[in-house]
Amino acid sequence: MCIKSFLAIFMLAVCSHAKALIPFETETMIRGYCYAGSREDDKAFFGYASSSNAPKKITEEIPGPDGEIALIALPADEVPFGKQYHGFRLLLVNRTAKEVSFAASDSRLYITCEARNQDGEWKPIEYLPSSFCGNSRHSVYLPNGYYWEFSAPVYSGSFKTKLRYTHGGNSYSNEFDGSINPAQFKELETRR
């Protein structure tokens, strides 16, 4: 048996035993999950939890308008969420001429998902936990010409609607089709 045939059979065996991603079904809001790494915040005197999600250099295939900061949902670009669930790529892109700082709590950015409710109003379906420790608050920095990439869940539920992401309620991503559980509009996640 030639080496190429052996490798093909081996890879087929490995891939067939890989765990398939499952739908992300929840009956509660979940906590924000957009953690970003950057250079140190020299104004945060007492430290904070950092993130290994380093900024990546923008390439031709990264979308976003020139001269702007853009939050971009890419629901067609599937990636795992939490290692076991269907997810997609969510990008925060800096195509301005300068480095931009973002407020964070232990490197978690203030990015959450919103959905249109039964009345057509945009409502949050994710939340940001409170931090009682002042040391948790600091800034993360995204250089110009760079972006952060996050994995976002593909929600599964009985209510088909439009979704979008917001950064602190001040800027918004593109809208996209999805489905959620209506209980996500009112219940906070209880685990952790």
User: pLDDT for 80-104, tens place per residue?
Assistant: 999 999 999 999 999 999 999 998 8
- Over the chain, what HEC string results? CCHHHHHHHHHHHHHHCCCCCECECCCCEEECCCECCCCCCCCCCCCCCCCCCCCEECCCCCCCCCCCEEEEEEEEEEEEECCCEEEEEEEEEECCCCCEEEEEECCEECEEEEEECCCCCEEECEECCCCCCHHHEEEEEECCCEEEEEEEECECCCEEEEEEEEECCCEECCCEEEEECHHHHCCECCCC
pLDDT of residue 44: 64
pLDDT band at 192 (very low <50, low <70, confident <90, very high): very low
Chain segment 112-142, per-residue pLDDT in tens: 999 999 999 999 999 988 765 555 777 899 9
Chain segment 131-183, per-residue pLDDT in tens: 655 557 778 999 999 999 999 999 999 999 999 999 988 899 999 999 999 99
Domain limits, the chain? 19-185
CB atoms < 10 A from the CB of 147, how many?
22
**Percent over 70 (pLDDT), the chain:** 81
Token pair 């994995």: residue: 151
**Percent over 90 (pLDDT), the chain:** 67
What mean pLDDT comes out for the span 15-40? 84
